[in-house]
Amino acid sequence: MVTVSLCMIVKNEEEALHTCLKSVHDLVDEIIIVDTGSTDRTQEVAASFNAWIYDFEWCDDFSAARNYAFDQATQDYQFWLDADDILEEQDRLVFLDWKKQATLSYDSITMDYVLSVDEQGQPLHKLKRNRIVRRDRNFRWIGFVHEFLHVTGSTFHSNMAVTHKKTRAYTDRNLHIYLKHREQGTVFSERDHYYFGNELYDNGRTVEAIQQYEHYLSLNQGWMEDRIAACFKLADCYGRQGQKQEQRMALLRTLNLDTPRAQFCCAFGNLLIEAEQYAQAIYWFRQATLIEPPQDAMALTNSSYYTWLPHLQLCLCYDRIGDIDKAKLHHRMSQLHHPTHPSVLYNEQYFSQLQQG
């Protein structure tokens, strides 16, 4: 059986860390906790799980801290988590099974990262991330914020998942790190430009976010999925500003990068609904129902666009043009995928009253 080092960086995470470690402590052979300045009981919690605890002076560089944590590992594989991540019971069992059967034949093992779930507990937003890597390959983290683990060699895409259980409110910490690095003249990678735009977007600095996304897209570099996502975020920014034509054009830019995504079809269809162009909207929502999720295993996916959401909007469009039979048909399709969504429940009541009337 292979051995695994869990490597984590933490700060003031006493509550979340206990939940995290409780879900994984018996799956790994050692726990490495790198503390970047806790003032609460974080280290006591870590010690209760027999973790090796190291202090690290924070330097506004997440990769530096993560690489330091990796450097302390001694087992065959390095496995990383954040304090607000857990392994659900079904994933614990799969992890144990993987560990019993694993060899050192793979350099990296990916796991799904479930960012949010629907009312039934099914993954809504998820992507794959390199979670477990061979220690002897000495893979390194890159990027001072929104860091990524640079891996090469053979990769196994597992069916294991890590579930994100965010407990803290969103802060502007990362934005200030980017601003500080910009003031210091740090040369940003194309990936930095994209994520800097995201931080501006998330903090409501819409005009600056527009400028940042436009700059990033003008570079014509970086991961395809990031560039497509930047177009969608840019469209949202223009929408916030009430610039409808620019919003449409930002969405259309995704078509220069790849074939239409279901997200594009739904976003473009929604703009057509706003303009009361229902026939055109129907075309795009119908297209969304025919599209498969991105083939890139590492891409972020939102299952809504590929299941219930286009049918929900088709129900609305057909109702608006008076085609009640088709509206009911697509209501049933959306209900099949997501029976408890508030809009689906509303439509069920609407059609029931319509029939009674």
Return the CATH number at 234. Answer: 1.25.40
Q: How many domains does the chain have?
A: 3
> Is residue 357 over pLDDT 70?
no
Cα gap 111→88, rounded to integer Å: 13
3-state class of 152 per DSSP? coil
User: Measured in Å, how far apart are the chain's first and last C-alpha atoms?
Assistant: 67
3-state class of 244 per DSSP? helix
Same domain, 205 and 225: yes
Same domain, 153 and 10: yes
Q: Are 275 and 247 in contact (CB under 8 A)?
A: no
Domain termination site, one of 141, 164, 187? 164
Q: Are 331 and 344 in contact (CB under 8 A)?
A: yes
Same domain, 155 and 228: no
Looking at residues 197-201, what average pLDDT do you find?
98
Amino acid 241: pLDDT: 97
Same domain, 192 and 306: no
* Helix %, strand %, coil % of the chain (to 5): 50, 20, 30
Same domain, 324 and 200: no
CATH number at residue 331: 1.25.40.10
Cα gap 208→224, rounded to integer Å: 22
Phi-psi region of 322 (alpha: psi -120 to 50; beta: other; left: phi over 0): left
Same domain, 69 and 187: no
Domain termination site, one of 164, 196, 214? 164
Looking at the DSSP bridge assignments, the partners of residue 140 are 150
For the entire predicted model, the pTM comes to 0.92
Domain termination site, one of 130, 164, 198? 164
Range of the domain at 217: 170-257
Same domain, 37 and 111: yes
Looking at residues 195-218, what average pLDDT do you find?
98
Same domain, 330 and 265: yes
Looking at residues 155-182, what average pLDDT do you find?
92
Of the two residues 266 and 170, the one the predictor is more confident about is 266
At 194, the pLDDT band (50, 70, 90 cuts) reads very high
